[in-house]
Structure 1
Amino acid sequence: MKKKRISITDIAYALHVTPSTVSRALNGGGKVSEKKRLEIIALAKELGYRPNPIAKSLLENKTHTIGLIIPEFTHHFYSRMLAGIESVTSKAGYQLLICTSNENQNQEIKSTLTLLDARVDGILATISKMNDKFEHLQEVLDSGTPLVLVDRFSEEIETPYVISDDFKGAFSAVEYLCQNGCRNILHIKGPDNLSTTFNRFMGYKEALRKHEIELNEHLILEGSDPDLFEKITSCMKNHPLDGAFTYSDYLAFEIYKVASELKIPIPEQLSVIGYADEPISTYINPTLSTVNQQPFEMGVLGAKYLLNRIHDPTIAMETSRVETKLILRESCRNLNN
């Protein structure tokens, strides 16, 4: 038999007081003697009373709930970002409602509207890779619900952002390759329309420019190309590659597969650097050099920005770039050693 939830009315009946007196005592209100307040609190604890969150949210016009939309859970990056967010929101007394878009814009729109219908106090989101509509995000802002976007940037929406410094991250990776003798550096780009793809490509180009290496369009491939394996194979056969920088660690693994097939040793003949510091980077052989975006720190900062906006909607909007870290492992040769 289902156990009945203890209510304020039950406590009031047991102590022969009004429900409003119990409510004031439990919520620190006035006009209740200290003796009666302690008596009410003691009985509430004894009976296992828990406040009704729905009634409380109606009274305060707050749900103490934050909506989160991320592309997926499977990538280590998003799980670490989620851990950072939750480390802040849980301490602040907020619950998370988590939705995934699966990199699908229609699912992202549906999730956004669901969170608005749930009357969340604010929304944290990473926009999907194929996003070309932003009316749903503008609807969030128009409703007065605070919104902070994390990881990916769009000029279409004026709201606080927390992103990693992908330009510097890519620049540091490619500069390291250049400093260690690489002159023919392959780059595999990320999905079109993403700010992260653009910024990492710009970092790649700037590092080449600094080291006076001419940009070779034949050494730039699209990671979304269904014939990517064949394109990498052709590139390795027809160009004297000595370095590679990829949008992600998973794309770097594609280079490993081709290099193995063509019997090109890493790093003796080809130095490789990926991006994101996914667990795969330490599992493959040789271990993969990569760029760590500090996703936990991004999540922490994004959550703090959102809570600040919830508590004070008038505070200035900010765009914060989290520093990246170049992680050097076995896939890069080092001429200094």
Structure 2
Amino acid sequence: MKKKRTNISDIAKAVQVTPSTVSRALNGGGKVSEKKKQEIISLAKKLGYRPNPIAKSLLENRTNTIGLIIPEFTHHFYSRMLAGIESITSNSGYQLLICTSNEDQSQEIKSIYTLLDARVDGVIATISKVNDTFGHLQEVMDNDTPLVLVDRFSEEIEAPYVISDDFQGAFSAVDHLCQIGCRKIVHIKGPDNLSTTFNRLMGYKEALRKHEIEWEEDLVLEGSNPDLEEQIKSCLETNLVDGAFAYSDYLAFEIYKVASQLKIHIPDQLAVIGYADEPISTYITPTLSTVNQQPFEMGAKAAQILLNQIENPEIPREFVSLPTELIIRKSIR
């Protein structure tokens, strides 16, 4: 048989006071003698009393929970970002309710309404790859629930965001390739419609422009193409490619596989740089040069902005772009 949960009325009856007196004693309120307060607190501990979080949230109009929507857990990037968020929220007395979209906007929309129904105090979200509608995100803000976007953003929604400087990150990667003598640099780009894809492509183009290298459309490949391996193979065979910059470390690994099939040696014949500094970048041979986006710092900053918005809804929205770091490993000669 399920044990009955001790409530304030039980304690009040035992010490022969009103429930409101017990409530004041347990919450540090006035008009209760120190002796009676200690008696109430002692009995509450003995009976294993725990406040009802639902009742408390209704009373305070706050649940001390933060909703988080991320595409997935498997990428090291998102686990580090989550750790950064938790480093702020847990120290501030907030619990996280975590949902994953699996890069599916319909799942993202369901998650938003689940979090709103749970009356979270705020939402942090990384929007999914396919983001052709933003009404659900606007509804969060229309509901007077603070929203902060992290890693990806859209100009369609005027919410605070924290991203990495993807333009500069891509520029520094391709600029380095150019500086070591690469002149035919292939770029495997990310999913369409994402701000990260656009900014990294622009950084790639700007670095080529700086070094007076003409941009060639044939050297930009779609990372989501099911025939990507064949595209990479054709590109490496026909264009005398000597450098490669990938939207992610995982796409850079696809270049490694094809280069191995074609007996193209990395880095002597082909220099490669990825993006995100995933663990795979240190596991493969040769170790992969990459761009660190500071995901922990990104998550921590997003959480701090959200908590600031919760405490003071009138403060100006913040739009933060964190610097990236180019990490040179053995995939560069």
Counterpart in the other structure of 1:209: 209
Distance 2:37 2:205 in 1: 69
1:155-194 aligned within 5 A: 155-194=155-194
Shift of 1:110: 0.8
| Distance in 1 of aligned mates of 2:102 and 2:27 | 42
Find out whether 1:231 has 2:227 as its counterpart.
no
Shift of 1:213: 1.2
Please list the CA deviations of residues 216-272 of structure 1 after superposition, one character each: whole Å capped at 9, or x if unmatched: 111111111111111110111111111100000010011001100000000011000
Alpha-carbon distance in 1 for matches of 2:4, 2:321: 50
Q: Identify the residue that residue 320 of structure 1 maps to in structure 2.
A: 320
What corresponds to 1:252 in structure 2? 252
TM-score (norm 2): 0.98
Deviation of residue 11 (structure 1)? 1.3
1:99-144 CA distances to partner (integer Å, 9 max, x unpaired)? 1111111111111111111111111101001010001111111111
Aligned equivalent of 2:269: 269
Aligned-partner Cα distance in 2 for 1:86–1:327:
26
- Partner residue, 1:59: 59
Whole-Å separation in 2 of the counterparts to 1:158 and 1:58 = 29
Query: Following the alignment from structure 1 to structure 2, what is the Cα–Cα distance between the partners of residues 70 and 182?
Result: 36
Question: 1:46 Cα deviation (Å)?
Answer: 2.3
Deviations 1:166-208 (A, max 9, x none): 0111111111111111111110000000000000001111111
- For residues 244 and 95 of structure 1, what CA distance do their matches in structure 2 show? 42
Offset of residue 39 of structure 1: 1.7
How far is 1:279 from its partner?
A: 1.0
1:104 aligns with: 104
Displacement of 1:45: 1.9
Q: Who is 2:92 aligned against?
A: 92
Q: Read off the aligned partner of 2:241 and give its amino acid letter.
A: L
SS at match of 2:91: coil
Tell me the CA shift for residue 2 of structure 1: 2.7
Distance 2:44 2:323 in 1: 49
Inter-partner Cα distance in structure 2 for 1:72 and 1:93: 25
CA distance in structure 2 between the partners assigned to 1:320 and 1:43 by the alignment = 50
Aligned to 2:113: 113
CA distance in 2, matches of 1:50, 1:326: 50
Task: Report the alpha carbon displacement of residue 4 of structure 1 after superposing the two structures with TM.
Answer: 2.4
Identity among equivalent positions (%) equals 77
Distance 1:41 1:84 in 2: 36
RMSD over equivalenced CA pairs, Å = 0.9
Question: Deviation at 1:3?
Answer: 2.7
- How far apart in 1 are the matches of 2:89 and 2:2? 32
Q: Is 1:152 the counterpart of 2:140 in the alignment?
A: no
Match of 1:36 in 2: 36
Q: How many residues align?
A: 333
Unaligned runs of 5+ in 2: none
Q: CA deviation at 1:50?
A: 1.2
Q: Which runs of 5+ in 1 are unaligned?
A: none
**Counterpart-to-counterpart distance in 2, 1:242 and 1:45:** 70
User: Quick one: distance in 2 between partners of 1:200 and 1:212?
Assistant: 19
Partner amino acid, structure 1, of 2:167: F
SS at match of 2:92: coil
TM-superposed deviation, 1:47: 2.1
| Structure 1 equivalent of residue 24 of structure 2 | 24
Instruction: Report the equivalent of 2:133.
Output: 133
CA distance in 2, matches of 1:21, 1:225: 67
Provide the C-alpha distance between the structure 2 equivalents of 1:205 and 1:88, rounded to a whole number of angstroms: 37
In the alignment, the residues of structure 2 paired with residue 321 and residue 46 of structure 1 have an alpha-carbon distance, to the nearest angstrom, of 51
For residues 58 and 219 of structure 2, the distance between their equivalents in structure 1, rounded to whole angstroms, comes to 59
Runs of at least 4 residues off by over 6 Å: none
